[in-house]
Chains A and B, each alone.
Chain A
Amino acid sequence: MWSSVSGAFRDYMGTGLIGICFLVSLVYLFLTEKRKHLRILFLYMPFCFLALFFNPLFSKLVYRMAEDEIYWRVLWLLPMTVTIAYTFVRLWGEIGQKRGERAARILGLCLAGIVAASGSFIYASPSFSRAENIYHMPDAVVEICDAINVPGREVMAVFPLELTQYVRQYSPVTCMPYGREMTRGEWAILHPLKDEMEKEVIEMEKLVPLVREYRCHYVIFRPGQKVEGNPEDYGWARFGEIQGYTVYRDPHEELVIPVMD
């Protein structure tokens, strides 16, 4: 349990430099802050949170009630941003009074530099990318869903795994035999259709019965996907190529457009 809790703390603090800034701020405030209400908020409460966080009884209780993988969220209660910013402004004011405005300006720049050097620029994260459209979804998902959807009913389509997490965010009427749960190791279950779709070379002979078993109207192959066998030989119709993805329609599964009143 201890290793799990300390691991969560280490993971949360990253390089630990912002944690050090926080610690230094706490020491500074402990020595200089006289107002009791600020001492409670900036010193006593964070101390109590940390004591609770590392308390084995508390962690056991939270692990049992919630999931162990979200225990680090307790650390959100540490007012790190406010405490560091408050301390830095106090320091700036103190230096300004003692050494003059010029020294305070230099200190302000140094402190800003410390924050920038200690942290990591958020927009440098590889998770950020230029949005391809107003939906913040890949264009391929938007265009494929728009193309295959029919008014007034759901359609069933098999997508390559990398697109599954976006499909139902954009189009709730597009159903899939499997979705995002297959992308997470601990949730992924044996799914024969997914296994066949994710093979380096898809065998049509094996894929076609699985697609029909799951009653799919459409199958989407990723760009450059190698396929053994000709889909048209199995009655599939090439629906089109969208953003490099090839979309096939399997007429075996009827797609009746409901009559709208």
Chain B
Amino acid sequence: MSAVVIQILILGLLLLVLPAVIGGLCARAYDGGGRLIFRWVSGQFLLWAGFQLMCVPMILRQQSLSRLALCFGAYGAILVFFAVALEIRHRKRGQVPAFFEPMKERTKKKVPESAVLWAVFAGGLLFQLVQAVRLAFDDADDAYFVAVASLAESSDQMYQLSPYGQGEMELDFRHALAPFSIWIAFLARVSGMRTVVVAQVALPVVLIAMAYGIYYLFSCSLFPEQGGQRALFMIFTELLVLFGNYSVYTSETFLIGRTRQGKATLGSIVVPFLLLLLLVLLRYLQKGEKVPISLYLLLGAAGMAGCLCSTLGALLSCMVIGLCGLCGAVCYKRLRLLFSLTACCVPCVGYALLYVFVK
């Protein structure tokens, strides 16, 4: 029992605490960047981007998961060091962005209705998190993605053993360039929790919460004044997710049913986060203010995270960043924006070219 508690604590540290600390590096990406949820999400994207950068070359060179875990651990430690140093520096200067929205910004008139709406939303979210543990979603693709993670964790080899039957296999470039399953194996290796439990139970709980965290950040950007509007937005979002099974292809179906597969994370977390960052970017353009470098950094990281989730992620990330850049450059007559956003897409283009080259 105590071993299980320790495993849960380590997973909590890896999936909640570390990203929240590392996210401090991007706290100044926009005026709501100090929010704990934004720190958590953006920290996770920085970690995913680094994972992708390290993992793909190591897979291609057929190196071990242990070695990758070591390198990624060092990367995480460096990010934590810089995030803590930055936090201390800002605290000394008294410029710490607030974790939670300051009370003074809140509407003075208490609206009991909004509390009820938030309670409804929280109930719906809790229901979904409980269902993620209680219900199993039968999807044959798990036979590849989860088995690859299980095999990597147990054999210490990445994409070298066949997930379906037996023996070794030729490197499957399409999947090896988007090694989300190896990230699951890494979590299982470090936490000591069985890979299948990490994939089928722990990740859905964390990633569903993260998806709603991103929608919450959307609500904060779309409705700057607090009150019932944000809560109502979250309830409608929740309803659209809960009733999003109008076809088996929707990102909502993937979020709730197939969370442990990278493509689900691409559609329901990476793409919405990219859109959120682009909304922030467009707001800077609207106000005629300078766009902070940390926002571009996050856009690049989100693109890389898209590549980690799926090989198609490279194309989708570039498409969404490119089209927004084009629209922004035309509408605001800021052609220089295109250069900055092109730079954000360079890693994705690199992965796309690598895929075309090795395919």
Interface residues of A (CB under 8 A from B): 11-15, 17-18, 35-38, 40-41, 44-45, 48-49, 52, 62, 65-66, 70, 72-77, 79-82, 84-86, 88-89, 92-93, 101, 108, 111-112, 115-116, 118-125, 127-132, 134-137, 154, 156, 164-166, 168-173, 175-181, 183-184
Contacts and interface: CB of A to CB of B under 8 A. Distances in A.
Contacts of A17: 246
Contacts of B155: 172
Contact of A49 (B200, B246, B323): B323
CB-based closest 5 A-B pairs? A119-B243, A179-B164, A14-B246, A37-B282, A175-B166
Contacts, number: 248
A116 B232 contact: no
Interface in B272-323: 272, 275, 278-279, 282-283, 285-286, 310-312, 315-316, 319-320, 323
Contact of A170 (B113, B196, B247): B196
Given A125-B257, A129-B138, 8 more contacts: A36-B332, A41-B324, A45-B327, A89-B233, A119-B244, A122-B245, A173-B154, A175-B167
Nearest to A120: B245
Interface of B: 113, 131, 133-140, 142-144, 146-147, 150-151, 153-155, 161-167, 194, 196-197, 199-201, 215, 218, 222-223, 229, 232-233, 235-237, 239-247, 249-253, 256-257, 263, 266-267, 271-272, 275, 278-279, 282-283, 285-286, 310-312, 315-316, 319-320, 323-324, 326-328, 331-332, 352, 355-356
Contact of A14 (B200, B229, B247, B326): B247
Contacts of B244: 18, 81, 119, 122
B240 A136 contact: no
Contacts of B165: 175-179, 181
Contact of B134 (A45, A115, A131, A154): A131
Interface residues of B, dominant DSSP: helix
Contacts of B194: 135
Contact of B242 (A73, A121, A179): A121
A118 B247 CA distance: 12
Contacts of A132: 136
A207 to B, nearest CB: 18
A35 B218 CA distance: 16
Nearest to A71: B312
Contacts of A18: 240, 243-244, 246
B246 A180 contact: no
Which one of B135, B256, B310 has the greatest number of beta carbons of chain A within 10 Å? B135
B267 A76 contact: yes
Contact of A70 (B250, B312, B331): B312
B147 A66 contact: no
17 contacts: A11-B247, A17-B246, A18-B244, A41-B275, A41-B279, A45-B324, A66-B312, A88-B236, A127-B137, A135-B200, A136-B200, A164-B164, A169-B146, A172-B147, A172-B150, A180-B143, A183-B140
A173 B167 CA distance: 11
Contacts of A119: 240, 242-246
A206 to B, nearest CB: 21
Contact of A82 (B133, B163, B215, B352): B215
B236 A89 contact: yes
Which one of A81, A93, A164 has the greatest number of beta carbons of chain B within 10 Å? A81
B140 A48 contact: no
Nearest to A126: B138
A85 B237 contact: yes
Nearest to A175: B166
Given A135-B197, A177-B166, A168 B151 contact: yes
Nearest to B284: A37
A134 B200 CA distance: 8
Contact of A62 (B263, B315, B355): B315
Nearest to B200: A136
Contacts of A40: 282, 324, 327-328, 331
Which one of B256, B282, B311 has the greatest number of beta carbons of chain A within 10 Å? B282
A35 B239 contact: no
Contact of A86 (B200, B233, B286): B233
A38 B282 CA distance: 8
